[in-house]
Amino acid sequence: MTKKVVIVGGVAGGATTAARLRRLNEEMEIVLLERGEHISYANCGLPYYIGEVIEKRENLFVMTLQNFRNWYNIDIRANSEVLTLDRSGQRVEVLNRLSGEKYWESYDYLVLSPGAEPIRPPLSGVQHPAVFTLRNVADTDRIYNFIRENKPSSAVVVGGGFVGLEMCENLHRRGMAVTIVELAPQLLTIFDKDMAALVQQYLRSQGVGLYLNSGVAAF
């Protein structure tokens, strides 16, 4: 009897899992549920599209929905958000974000690869139209369009991890004066203090402002 796999999340992990399962089993029914509009895009490339290193938006996408469907024979449903997990009944409740319809989808096996949400701290001003998070293509489009339409001269990046530094690099490339605010005593806390010091020295030499051991009180 043919087994059915439901995969929640269709970006890097979910799409890769779906493709691998199809290679292992040509008969298995595979349903891929993605809350957003796009699947299988280059997350790490998002800051570099904002910085115009990646010039064409379509180059962010590893594969289109239709190509993925055709090549791997997978039932892909974008704009489909999983609301409820019924483990005993082996089913998930799905919301079609375009139509508002809710329905239940059964499974034999379930793979959870939903990704994460950026933190929006409950601070004054966090809803200001010039305050952004960066997680997906929609976030990227909002930042890119804001820069194109408003031509800001400066930017503040909250967080000195990998994504924060990539955004710093690309906003600086777009001609902005950039400041990084980091709660920890150093950037890139995954590295030791001596390695981080080299990065900090280089950034300062490029005119990037650094506020370490510093949090944000309001926007």
- Give the CATH number for residue 90: 3.50.50.60
Cβ-contact 39, 68 below 8 angstroms? yes
Q: Rounded to the nearest 5°, which phi and psi values hold at 110?
A: -125, 130
Do residue 191 and residue 93 come from a single domain? no
Residue 202 burial (C-beta neighbours within 10 Å; 0-12, 13-18, 19+)? exposed
CA distance 210 to 219: 17
Structural domain of 47 = 4-112
Question: Domain for residue 135, yes or no?
Answer: no
What are the tokens at 218?
Answer: 């309001």
Last residue of a domain, which of 62, 95, 112? 112
Please tell me the predicted confidence (pLDDT) of residue 12: 85
The catalytically annotated residue of 3, 25, 37, 44 is 44
Length of the chain: 219
Domain count, the chain: 2
Question: Domain for residue 130, yes or no?
Answer: no
Per run of 10 residues, the mean pLDDT along the chain (length 219 residues) is 95 93 96 93 92 95 88 96 98 98 98 90 95 95 98 98 97 98 98 98 98 96
Question: Domain for residue 54, yes or no?
Answer: yes
Please tell me the predicted confidence (pLDDT) of residue 115: 87
Last residue of a domain, which of 112, 137, 165? 112
44 is catalytic: yes
